[in-house]
Amino acid sequence: MYPIIVFSVSGLLMLFLGLSVNKKSLLPYNLLFMLVGLASNFLDWNAPGLYFNGMLEISNPIILVQWVLIFAAILVSGISSRQFDDTHAYPAEYYAIMQFALVGALIMVSFQNLLMLFVGLEILSVGLYVLTGSDKRNLRGNEAAIKYFLMGSFATGIFLFGVAMFYGATGSFDISSGNSVANNLLEGKMFFWLGMVFIFIGLLFKISAAPFHFWTADVYQGAPTVFSAFMATIVKTAVIFALFRLAAYSFNLEYENWSKFLVIIIGLSMVIGNVTAVFQTNFKRVLAFSSISQAGFMLLSLIGLGAQSYGNLGFYSLSYALATISAFGVFLVISSNTIVEGRPSENINVFDGLFSRNPDLAIILLISMLSLAGIPLTSGFWSKFFVLNDAAAKGYFWILILGVLMSAVSLYYYFNPIRASFKKTDLGKIEISSLSKYTLYVCAALTILFGIAPNILRSLF
Amino acid sequence: MNKGLPQDYLPLLIQFSLALGFVVMTIFASTYLGPRLRSKRKEDPFECGIESQGDARLPMSVKYFLIAILFVLFDVEIIFMYPWAVNFKKLGWFGFTEMLMFVGFLMAGFYYIIKKGVLNWDED
């Protein structure tokens, strides 16, 4: 609860700091605020209960997820160093919006009332629409922002319609009221089912699960890379946990009904995400499609819905965030060193000869790609293992086989940048700011650490 | 009668169709029956004043929108002032401090927009 307050205030402070403080010294302030938010979460530790008239629920597992979100935001800020130095950038506003969006994300993982979920979703989305179009001089960025805004607001409308149906059926916005219609006859449940489907559709859009994924590649490509990383990690984590809360508390008695269509969505996400990613030449588009397939894997824990599923999902989110942020971070450094036609090149061939240009970055890229592909000794392996294990426990074996098959497909496109980085080249060394270097070291180290000893993190949940 | 059957609403339907029919009829009747001079001048949207030039869809400076938003902001502030003024004595010091806080926040925003140069109209 406290980080929500901290970030609401610090976002405003950030705007005012932008008036008086030099552009380059804004990032330390941003990191300071985020660390304060991270620390303020300790105040809630071991104080479970409902807050703000039953609007938010706080418990230790929720606090852990909030830590994951804030930690991911810190890492994203870390890789943003030196990115907003040019004259047309407004870092104070960017960081302020990032903190506000984080407030929305924090609300979304701890809501107890569907209205709170809507408020959180809007705070998060509206901030992201702005961030997507924040590079005003980039035509693709403008296109991405308008696409994201239009489709996102439609999805929010669909979600809200679902919430209205939910309210109509149960007479309450409280998420636990879903159980009250369990004994109703078919007629009384009709609206409840309608609401359930629409709520799912609205939220699945936001994590770009397969039939609702069409915006993803264009938006990830058009948005400034830092914010693509933000979108890929924080939004996905927040929305998947919102979905998990709904599945576990509101719709758990309807499991038989929604799990059937969710499992099809998971299959579609894996197939479309992985197969389409093979044909991409733009690295941001590759990561966009990879994020679609990862969304499919994350949804597996909703199918599992066991005692361990929440922790598995938390583990998956963190390991995915670490790997994705380090992939985006390495790419960010290299692409801003490779200018083609006045813009940073986004083609996969920017990685050519990375190992001789900067061996550290090449190793970090290798670790992050292996983790995304799910190779043992990285956290990505365990995260995939746990969620597939969850789904298998419920008897969905065909999705398990599909998941493993699609992981094999994903090896192809995850190994492309690695292969490129060991090519020979005569290009010079790459310089990297010390902050983003240490951020990337932390990402890679944690990926390996959780790969060797996953229970360090998992036992906390 | 304890329940409204669909046919009970028939008069409403007739009323709606009559209203709609009247509107449609007047539009068509006045166009075709009335005496009418047709010329380029007459078909112009404006008969007097400066002759219109070009398209109405011009790219407008974002500044206009900013100023419009700021106007709404301060307009809303005044709306909050009125009830306070009406109940000024009743609310006493409590109302005064609350209002001071509200205006304080608003002034912080005002300081921000001035520093951002939103009101520098001659800059581009």
Closest Cα in chain A to B108: A16
B115 contacts on A by Cβ (under 8 Å): 19
Q: Which residue of A12, A14, A130, A142 to mutate against B (max B Cβ within 10 Å)? A: A12
Residues of chain A in contact with residue B108, where contact means CB-CB under 8 angstroms, are: 16
What is the percent of chain A where pLDDT is above 70?
Answer: 99
The strand ranges marked E within A14-167 are: 49-51, 56-58
A122-126, A140-144, A183-187, A419-423 — which is least confidently predicted? A183-187
Could you write out the DSSP letters of every residue in A73-89? HHHHHHHTTTTT-STT-
Which has the higher per-residue pLDDT, B58 or A155? A155
pLDDT given for residue A344 in this prediction: 82
Neighbours of B69 (CB within 10 A): 11
d(CA A208, CA A294): 10
Q: Measured between alpha carbons, how far is residue A229 from residues A187, A236, B16, B89, B103 in Å?
A: 45, 10, 55, 55, 39
Nearest CA in chain A to B111: A16
**Mean of the per-residue pLDDT values of chain A:** 90
Half-sphere exposure of A228 (CA within 13 A, CB side): 31
What tokens appear for A5 in the block?
Answer: 């307050």
Q: What is the pLDDT of residue B2?
A: 55
- Rounded to the nearest integer, the mean pLDDT of chain B is 83
Give residue A441's Cα distance to chain centre: 20
For residue A440, pLDDT over 90 is answered with: yes
Classify residue B43 as exposed, middle or buried by CB count within 10 Å of its CB (0-12, 13-18, 19+).
exposed
- Neighbouring CB atoms inside 10 A of A157's CB total 12
Residues 83-122 in B contacting A (C-alpha not used; CB under 8 Å): 108, 112, 115-116
Determine the pLDDT at residue A345: 83
Q: Tell me: the pLDDT tens digits for A62-103?
A: 999 999 999 999 999 999 888 888 878 888 999 999 999 999
Chain B residues close to A15, C-beta within 8 Å: 112
User: Is the pLDDT confidence value at B24 over 90?
Assistant: yes
Which sign, positive or negative, has the C-alpha torsion A379, A381, A384, A385?
A: negative
Mean pLDDT of B98-120: 87
Check whether A116 has a pLDDT greater than 90.
yes
Q: Which amino acid is at B2?
A: N
The pLDDT, as a whole number, for residue A42 is 87
Name the β-bridge partners of A113: A174
CATH 3.40.630.30, applies to B62-116: no
> Where in chain B are the domains?
7-36, 62-116
Instruction: Characterize B83-92 residue by residue with b for buried, 16 or more Cβ atoms within 10 angstroms of its Cβ, and e for exposed.
Output: eeeeeeeeee
Tell me if A397 sits within 8 A of A325, measured CB to CB.
no
Please give the pLDDT value at position B46.
66
Return the SS3 of A56.
strand
What's the mean pLDDT in A22-44?
89
Give contacts of A13 with chain B, Cβ < 8 Å: none
pLDDT cut 90: percent of chain B above it: 19
Contact A16 B116 (CB under 8 A): no
- Is A9 near chain B, with CB under 8 Å? no
User: Which chain A positions have a beta carbon within 8 Å of B116's beta carbon?
Assistant: 19
How does pLDDT run across B33-80, given as a tens digit for each residue? 887 777 777 777 666 677 777 777 878 777 788 888 888 888 888 888
Each residue's pLDDT tens digit, A208-230: 998 899 999 999 999 999 999 99
Q: Indicate the residue type of A402.
A: L
Mean pLDDT comparison of A69-78, A136-145, B1-10, B65-74, highest-scoring range: A69-78
The per-residue pLDDT for B110 is 87
Q: Report the C-alpha gap between A167 and A113 in whole angstroms.
A: 11
Return the pLDDT at B47.
63
Q: Is the pLDDT of residue A351 over 90?
A: no
The pLDDT value given to residue B109 = 87
Q: How confident is the model at residue B123 (pLDDT cuts 50, 70, 90)?
A: low
Residue ranges with strand state E in A263-419? 339-340, 343-344
Judge contact between A203 and A118, C-beta under 8 A.
Answer: no
Q: From CA A222, how far away is CA A141, in angstroms rounded?
A: 4
Contacts for B123 with CB less than 8 Å, ≥ 6 apart? B117
Query: What percent of chain A stands above pLDDT 90?
Result: 56
* Euclidean distance between CA atoms A410 and A206, whole angstroms: 22
Cα distance from N-terminal residue to C-terminal residue, chain B = 71
Q: What is the pLDDT of residue A74?
A: 94
CB contact under 8 A, A16 and B108: yes
Q: Provide DSSP, A93-133.
A: HHHHHHHHHHHHHHHHHHBSBHHHHHHHHHHHHHHHHHHHT
Mean pLDDT of A401-415: 91
| Torsion angles phi and psi, residue A129, rounded to 5 | -60, -45
CB A170 within 8 A of CB A199: no
Contact: A15, B112; criterion CB under 8 Å = yes
Inter-chain touch A16–B112, beta carbons under 8 Å: yes
Average pLDDT score over residue span A318-331: 93
Percent of chain B at pLDDT exceeding 70: 90
3-state secondary structure of A313: helix
| CA nearest neighbour of A304 among A368, A248, A379 | A248
pLDDT surpassing 70 at residue B1: no
User: Which pLDDT belongs to residue B39?
Assistant: 77
Q: Is B62 on the interface with A (CB under 8 A)?
A: no
